[in-house]
């Protein structure tokens, strides 16, 4: 099931085997921490000794330099060790991508070896009591005082709160309206545990993350040096966005190994459970359910590594990271529910991992941007992509007597730019797409002329009641269509009529 992908390099393939073996050797120990609700410190230390925390860190800073792909490989396997996967994930997110992309050489020398060694865990601190999905609305403030910054405020829902040593935070450094409008009011900082005034406020009792602390932290006049500022003052939003692509991807990939374990469990279980004198794997509904789970596991895994490759190739896969994050958590929820259904009552007990996946999946649908926010990103960024916004023009094809997508020039091209001809173009479009408006550029493409010339004609035709315009907020014409009178003025009624061959003339009127 969890094959290596052909585009992985040899080192990535090697770490995949290595970390798999490590996970299988330590599975039992991880379960003991889960059952005892104990933070798995000894296991985290073992992961650190293996160097896995350095998966995404360049070799010159003591890492394994396996990129986003390598980080996903490690996260997916460590996810099978439950808390360890979460700790690894969040520690990766607390500065790695942000420092690699925005840190100075000195900051890279300071922080990256620490991240790679994994001796100190990291926490990522975006969310606040009044800043959730609206992550730009942070209240935690950072005020410059000489060579230092003074931090005040609270962060909440911080995974690894308390057990982590470094906290990558986003604070507001400006209240100016114009700067806020351009998202220039946020700056990112690294804050170490132990700074005066920095304290832990609360640990949340959650639906999942059983033995991973998640909580509130408090900054009460915490002083940090300017060297702890990552990226330029006011560039925190960009730092956050760059970090979030990586975060969403790793948060997605961490489910991959769990899916594999669940499928393994389902085959084992259903071949041994007998009802109505048949093993349950013989029931079509059970086979159907397992097939669905396998499909979702494979699709989400493939998509995660596709997204990782884009990141490794230096792309900014905003849409892909959101899709990876969204489908992995949605599929995890579906897989959890379906697994429980196939296991029956046993699936609802904590003795089997199905209910655990379901609880984790629900967290997955909220954390690092809710599913609704991922959809917003997917829509907004895709709406700007030229790839999805190529103009599509239907033209009337006399040979088939139907409108078809065509690259041919309009039959109106080259006619004089007069009110009469422009109206004809717009009315002709009713014959092609009766319910749609035309953009001014569509009209221009069909007949030619300059934008200003056409705009004047549109205004004149509108005054005469021959067309209707749709305008944007400042009042610019963005769409036009013919009115009923406009259609009548442009062409006779028959021009717009269309009947299939089989339709009897006697039935027309």
Residues that bind ligand FAD (CB under 6 A): 90, 124-127, 132-133, 157-159, 206, 209, 214, 363, 366-370, 372-373, 376
Give kind and range of the element (H or E) at residue 467. strand 467-471
Our CB check for ligand FAD shows the closer of 61 and 170 to be 170
CB of 100 to ligand FAD, least distance (A): 19
Radius of gyration of the chain (CA): 30
Cβ proximity of 185 and 179 under 8 Å: yes
Report helix, strand or coil for 75. Answer: helix
CB of 128 to ligand FAD, least distance (A): 8
Least distance (Å) from ligand FAD to the CB of residue 110?
Answer: 22
Helix (H) or strand (E) holding 225: strand 214-225
Q: Which residue lies nearer to ligand FAD by CB, 243 or 317?
A: 243
Complex with ligand FAD: residue 124 or 466, whichever CB lies closer: 124
Cβ at position 374, least distance to ligand FAD in Å: 9
Report the chain's terminal Cα–Cα distance, integer Å: 65
What is the closest distance, in whole angstroms, from the C-beta atom of residue 164 to ligand FAD in the complex? 9
CB 342 within 8 A of CB 286: yes
Instruction: In whole angstroms, give the CA distance from residue 192 to residue 123.
Output: 10
Q: Smallest Cα–Cα separation from 40: which of 21, 64, 62, 23?
A: 23
Closest distance between ligand FAD and the C-beta of residue 135, in Å?
7
- Taking the complex as a whole, how short is the minimal distance between the CB of residue 369 and ligand FAD, in angstroms? 5
Task: Tell me whether residue 93 or residue 286 sits nearer to ligand FAD (CB atom).
Answer: 93
Q: Which of 474, 30, 24 is nearest to 261 (CA)?
A: 24
In the structure encoding, which two tokens stand for residue 206, read together? 């959650």
Nearer to ligand FAD, 22 or 167 (CB): 167
Beta bridge pairs of residue 188: 170, 230
The packing angle between helices 10-35 and 41-50, to 10°, is 170
Closer residue to ligand FAD (CB): 375 or 455: 375
Write the DSSP string, 11-70: HHHHHHHHHHHHHHHHHHHHHHHHHTT---HHHHHHHHHHTGGGTTS-GGGTS---HHHH
Shortest gap between Cβ of 462 and ligand FAD (angstroms)?
36
C-beta of 310 vs 367, nearer to ligand FAD = 367
Closer residue to ligand FAD in complex, CB, 304/329: 329
Half-sphere exposure of 209 (CA within 13 A, CB side): 21
Q: What φ, ψ does residue 384 adopt, rounded to 5°?
A: -95, -10
- State in angstroms the smallest separation of the CB of 180 from ligand FAD: 17
378, 318 contact by CB (below 8 A) = no
Closest-by-Cβ residue to ligand FAD is 132
Sign of CA dihedral 297, 298, 301, 306: negative
Residue placing its CB nearer to ligand FAD in the complex, 48 or 135? 135
């Amino acid at each position: 099931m969890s094959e290596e992908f052909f585009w992985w390099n040899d080192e990535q393939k090697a770490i995949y085997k290595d970390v798999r073996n490590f996970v299988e050797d330590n599975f039992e120990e991880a379960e003991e921490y889960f059952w005892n609700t104990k933070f798995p410190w000894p296991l985290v230390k073992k992961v650190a000794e293996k160097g896995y925390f350095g998966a995404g860190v360049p070799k010159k800073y003591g890492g394994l330099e396996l990129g986003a792909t390598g980080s996903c490989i490690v996260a997916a396997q460590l996810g099978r060790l439950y808390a360890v996967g979460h700790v690894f994930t969040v520690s990766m997110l607390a500065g790695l991508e942000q420092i690699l992309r925005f840190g100075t050489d000195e900051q890279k020398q300071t922080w990256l070896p620490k991240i790679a060694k994994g001796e100190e865990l990291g926490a990522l601190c975006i969310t606040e009591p009044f800043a959730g999905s609206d992550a730009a609305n942070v209240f935690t403030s950072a005020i410059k005082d000489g060579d230092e910054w003074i931090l005040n405020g609270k962060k909440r829902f911080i995974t690894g709160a308390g057990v982590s040593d470094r906290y990558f935070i986003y604070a507001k450094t400006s209240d100016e309206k114009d700067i806020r409008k351009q998202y220039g009011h946020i700056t990112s900082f690294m804050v170490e545990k132990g700074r005066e005034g920095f304290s832990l406020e609360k640990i949340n009792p959650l639906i999942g993350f059983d033995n991973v602390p998640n909580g509130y932290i408090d900054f009460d006049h915490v002083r940090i040096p300017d060297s702890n500022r990552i990226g330029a003052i006011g560039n925190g939003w960009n730092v956050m966005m760059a970090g979030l692509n990586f975060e969403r991807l790793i948060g997605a990939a961490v489910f991959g190994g769990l899916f594999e374990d669940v499928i393994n469990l389902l085959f084992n279980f259903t071949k041994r459970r007998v009802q109505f004198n048949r093993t349950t794997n013989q029931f079509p509904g059970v086979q159907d359910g397992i097939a669905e789970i396998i499909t979702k596991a494979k699709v989400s895994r493939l998509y995660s590594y596709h997204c990782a490759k884009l990141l490794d190739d230096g792309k900014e896969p905003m849409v892909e990271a959101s899709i990876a994050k969204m489908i992995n958590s949605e599929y995890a929820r579906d897989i959890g529910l379906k697994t429980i259904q196939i296991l029956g009552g046993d699936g609802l007990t904590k003795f089997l991992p199905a209910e655990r996946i379901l609880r984790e999946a629900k967290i997955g649908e909220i954390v690092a941007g809710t599913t609704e926010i991922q959809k917003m990103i997917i829509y907004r960024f895709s709406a700007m992509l030229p790839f999805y916004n190529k103009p599509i023009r239907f033209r009337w094809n006399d040979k088939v007597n139907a409108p078809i997508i065509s690259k041919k020039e309009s039959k109106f091209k080259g006619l004089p730019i007069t009110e009469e001809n422009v109206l004809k173009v717009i009315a002709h479009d009713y014959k092609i797409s009766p319910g749609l408006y035309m953009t001014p550029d569509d009209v221009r493409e069909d007949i030619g002329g300059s934008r200003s010339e056409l705009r004047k004609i549109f205004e004149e035709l509108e005054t005469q009641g021959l067309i209707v315009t749709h305008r944007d907020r400042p009042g610019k014409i963005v769409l036009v269509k013919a009115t009923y009178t406009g259609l009548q003025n442009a062409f006779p009624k028959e021009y717009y009529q269309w009947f299939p061959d089989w339709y009897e003339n006697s039935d027309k009127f």
